[in-house]
Chain A
Amino acid sequence: MMAWSTPPYLLADVSVRRVMLQVLVALLPGIAAYVWLIGPSILVQLAIATLAALLGEAVMLRLRRRPLLLFLTDGSATVSAWLIALAFPPLSPWWLTVVGVLFAIVVAKHLYGGLGQNPFNPAMIAFAACIVSFPALMSQWPALGLKLSLAEQFEIIAGLAPRIDAMSGATPLDALKTALKLGEGAVDVPTLLANQDVFGNFAGRGWEWVSVGYLLGGLWLWQRQIITWQTPVAFVGGLTLLAAILWAWNPQQFASPLFHLFSGGSLLGAFFIVTDPVSGSTTFRGKLIFGFLAGAIAYVIRVFGGYPDGVAFAVLLMNLCVPLIDMYTQPPIFGMKNPK
């Protein structure tokens, strides 16, 4: 007798591990741009995050008496770890990354029941928890033009070297917001973008190309049918629509949609965060609603709120709404489209 005694006896060659591996591969273009333009410290952060995630996962699996090898190799913890490392400042102290990752794996994932059970996106939970708890550290981004060797960067992350002021810059989004706030209407966006070093061709210097990397990886995931188009398109749509309206109304005080699209976590969020199937909506219309509102809320928070970016909070708020959205957007089934 064979172990497999229930139909279908044929299975497609797919697995959770393969899905997660492809997500990791899709992150590579963005990571490459990151290393090239921002600095190799991200590699150290990725390594720390991965180790912490696997360790946290192993301990939790042990406590929950789940098969270790099966779940450790499914790749889901690594995906969360990489997303957290990419969302955090690249020169964060090592323990900040570890705290974020462990919070995601232990609290956001396993306390809710592990793989497939988490109502909130673990990476975004980590970001939200840390930016609320350690706002200063989470806002220290390397100042532009800071040339540090990998060894020096490693020392900063490890806490062996002092966190010098020169490296505490801000993200382009944060820089723009702060400048506009300080200027109190006297400064305008086009002048700022043209004169400040932190801004590049169409968004933040360097960061804009990292975003392009995420975009390429995301398109590949879509082409591989790992993600569907609805959520990313709706997310980008929600973000750019609000940005376009305000920009058209007052281009002196509001940055262009293009700037917003390639700044902060917009494209990482669009292709790798809101597309998380576990915490996102699953129906056709639900994905559109979920993505659109997440994009719109992200814009509102990043422009009018107190945080440098709004993707994390927007996604978490929309995660809350998923059961409701899914319930009301169930598609009509075969033969029920035109009930007579």
Chain B
Amino acid sequence: MLAQLFRFKGGVKPQTNKTISVQEPIAQAPLPARLFVPLHQSIGGAPNPLVQAGDTVRKGQLIGGADAWVSAAVHAPTSGRVLAVEEHVAAHPSGLPTLSVVIEPDGRDEWIERRPVDHQSLPPERVRELLRDAGVVGLGGAAFPSHAKLTPARSVAMEQLVINGAECEPFMTCDDMLMRERADEIVRGIAIFRELLAAREVLIGIEDNKQEAIAAMHEAVLRLAPDYRVVAVPTRYPAGGAKQLIRVLTGKEVPASRRSTELGVQCFNVATVYTAYRALACGEPVLSRIVTLTGNVERPRNWEVSLGTPMREVVALARPRADTGSFLMGGPMMGFEIPDLDAPVVKATNCIIAASPGLFPPPPPEMPCIRCGACAEVCPHELQPFELYWFSRARNFGKTQEYYIFDCIECGCCSYVCPSHIPLVQYFRFAKSEIWAREREKQAADAAKERFELRNARAEREQAEKAERLARAASARTSEKKAPPERTNAVDSPPAAAAGEPAAAAATDADAIRKAAIAAAMARARAQRELAQPKNTDRLSAEQEREIAAVEARRGAQPATPEATAGAAGSGAPAGPQRGE
């Protein structure tokens, strides 16, 4: 099956180190004594806890409900008792705690009632809801809720559905093993996504260093869905980046500013497709995932691990060697150092690597950038990393955006080749987070300003209304004195629609009322100000009083007295010298 392949620019070829962990089949990891299932495991909203301490749960029971469209449900990985719903350290570089459900397994592993559905008999919206409630998220590492990616663009027909089995990160083999062992389920899962998106063709991209996986997928496709195409793509990091794989298989380039569906293409990881199939065809929500345990260990292998299993118990399965200094979650290019092994395995945990100074030597000291441009050569998004570095360093964040910092996928190719050993990705993350923080601050400030202006407007309006009411009352009193017989008329009919009177008269009336109101307000303000006058003028000599009188006279002679305007503007506000603060 020959397909025309496209090339993405840049990329690097680090040592893959994949063969060590594919020697044995996937094994089932034992259940731990306690599971710590974080409620927030995907991008988007944080699910609400639906259980509390003391509850008994069954395997597959919903324990966290999706709280928004971009959010995914969380389930009990086994049957047992809820010990607590509390903060527990998260599988995140920060090591900060997150709300987690602590479950003590009862060892019976009792399922809830599983309800397999035929997705073809259901409307697409219902299928998407089912996927969300089964907790199906991107298992390539990003953990983006899959149902939110399964709506085709309105204006563009979906041309290709790209299935990502490239797995370009060194050391990682979880997708490779899944494709080798469970190809049928993957192919059946693809059918669900294809129908939801009404995609014209299906392209399954696998890096050409995974011949067994390619063969297994090929065989399954031939049997189950002969019109899908399994395509071997050249092994070059980051060929497994969604945008890179889309480029290689379809020639389409998706910039950060657009959604791939707008270009008629969408991409899912093979493991995601697999869980979608299990969710619908077997009624089993996402309770476990395949995790590669590798690196500086005695027994590298892939394990099917229940979500919520503490990493300490997982890594013990691989028997780390004595000189292991730390553990990485994810691959060595984009992963992070696990700050605390009490953190549980989550949906995003695709690989745990035991790191030793021999395996990943500490970087040589950072040198200044010599603008050699090696980073720009390898950037798969064709950015100019060294320019972004200068601007990030100088905190010139506007410029970083002009140079498309948000198109950076943080793949790490630039840092990998930098002869000055500059941790470029760190600089870009810093710049991005600063830009986000400033954006949030600006939004908050804008909202506060808007609130303040609205409040001022309201205060002004209320004041004007009050003055008008007073003036109306005053004019009513005067007219009462002048013409008592007309009084009933004025009171019975609303003033604006004085029945029978000519419009001109009404207008003059309103004018007079307003003028009276202003005059009244000014008089009140003057009185108030006089009350609040500084008292150092009480005991003045005759000469000083004469001087003051002269000054007042001069002021009075000026055409528009500033005092009067100021007084009008300041009416109602406490008078005094502090105005203008």
Interface status of A181 (Cβ within 8 A of chain B): no
Q: A8-B333, A12-B12, A278-B371 are in contact. Are A334 and B362 (CB under 8 A)?
A: no
Cβ-based interface call for B268 (8 A): no
Q: Bound state CA distance, A12 and B418, in angstroms?
A: 8
B 365-395 binary contact with A (CB < 8 Å = 1; else 0): 1011111111010001111101100000000
The contact of A282 among B332, B386, B407, B416, by CB within 8 Å, is: B386
Q: Are B407 and A117 in contact (CB under 8 A)?
A: no
Q: Chain B contacts of A186 at CB under 8 A?
A: none
Q: List 19 A-B contacts (CB under 8 A).
A: A3-B362, A5-B337, A6-B425, A7-B336, A7-B425, A10-B332, A10-B333, A12-B12, A12-B14, A19-B419, A70-B365, A116-B367, A117-B368, A278-B371, A283-B384, A326-B387, A330-B384, A335-B258, A336-B255
Q: Is the CB of B412 within 8 A of A7?
A: yes
Q: Are A8 and B382 in contact (CB under 8 A)?
A: no
Interface membership of B326, Cβ < 8 A: yes
Which residues of B line the A interface, CB within 8 A? 8-9, 12, 14-15, 170, 243, 247, 253-256, 258, 325-326, 328, 332-337, 355, 357, 360-365, 367-374, 376, 380-384, 386-387, 403-404, 407, 410, 412, 415-421, 423, 425-426
List of A residues within 8 angstroms of B372 by Cβ:
19, 277
Residues 113-143 of chain A: 1 if any B CB is under 8 Å from the residue's CB, otherwise 0? Answer: 0111100000000000000000000000000
A-B residue pair count with CB separations less than 8 angstroms: 142
A114-B368 in contact (CB<8A): yes
Beta-carbon contact of A116 and B371 below 8 Å = yes
Bin the interface of chain A by size. 35 or more
Q: Which residues of chain A (200-223) have a CB below 8 Å from chain B? A: none
Cβ contacts under 8 Å, B336 to chain A: 7
* Residue among A8, A114, A228 making CB contact with B415, cutoff 8 Å: A8
Our pick among B410, B419, B423 for the contact of A18 (Cβ within 8 Å) is: B419
- A4–B359 Cα distance when bound, in Å, is 12
Within 8 A of B (CB), among A317-335: 326, 330-335
Q: How many angstroms from the CA of A10 to the CA of B364 in the assembled complex?
A: 12
Which single member of B325, B355, B417 contacts A12 (CB below 8 Å)?
B417
Which residues of A sit under 8 angstroms from B403, Cβ to Cβ?
330
B365 touches A7 (CB 8 A): no
**Smallest CB gap from A283: residue in B:** B384
Residue of chain A at shortest CB distance from B408: A333
Q: Is the CB of A8 within 8 A of B384?
A: no
Q: Which one of B15, B325, B371 lies within 8 Å of A277 (CB-CB)?
A: B371
A334 CB contacts on chain B under 8 angstroms: 8-9, 243, 247, 253, 255, 380-383, 407
Chain A, 241-299, CB within 8 A of any chain B CB: 277-278, 280, 282-283
Whether A164 sits at the interface, judged by CB under 8 Å, is no
How far is it, in angstroms, between the C-alpha of A74 and the C-alpha of B372 when the chains are bound? 15
A7 and B170 CA atoms in complex are apart in Å by 13
Q: Which of B9, B337, B370 has the most CB of A within 10 A?
A: B370
User: A160 in the interface, Cβ–Cβ < 8 Å?
Assistant: no
In the complex, chain A residues 56-71 whose Cβ is within 8 Å of any chain B Cβ = 67, 70
The reply to whether A6 and B423 contact each other, CB–CB distance below 8 Å, is: yes
* B325/A1 in contact, CB under 8 A: yes
Cβ contact within 8 Å between A282 and B384? yes
Report Cα–Cα, A294/B243, bound state, in Å. 39
- How far does the Cβ of A123 sit from chain B's closest Cβ, in whole Å? 15
Query: If the complex has contacts A1-B325, A2-B360, A11-B415, are A16 and B243 also in contact, measured as CB distance less than 8 A?
Result: no
B367 partner residues in chain A, CB cutoff 8 A: 15-16, 70, 74, 115-116
Q: A6 with B426: in contact, given A16-B419, A19-B372, A335-B254 (CB under 8 Å)?
A: yes
Is the beta-carbon distance between B362 and A14 smaller than 8 angstroms? no
Contact A335 B426 (CB under 8 A): no
- Rounded to whole angstroms, the CA-CA distance of A15 and B366 in the bound complex is 10
A5-B337, A333-B404 are known contacts. Are A10 and B14 too (CB-CB below 8 A)? yes
A282 pairs with B370, CB closer than 8 A: no
CA gap between A123 and B509 in the complex, in Å: 89
Is B328 a contact of A9 with CB atoms below 8 Å?
Answer: yes
Write out the residue numbers on chain B whose beta carbons fall within 8 Å of the beta carbon of A12: 12, 14, 416-417
- Chain A contacts of B170 at CB under 8 A? 10
CA distance A116 to B325 in the complex (A): 34
Q: How far is the CA of A330 from the CA of B379 in the complex (A)?
A: 14
Residues of A within 8 A of B415 (CB): 7-8, 11
Given A4-B360, A9-B328, A330-B403, A335-B370 contact (CB < 8 Å) = no
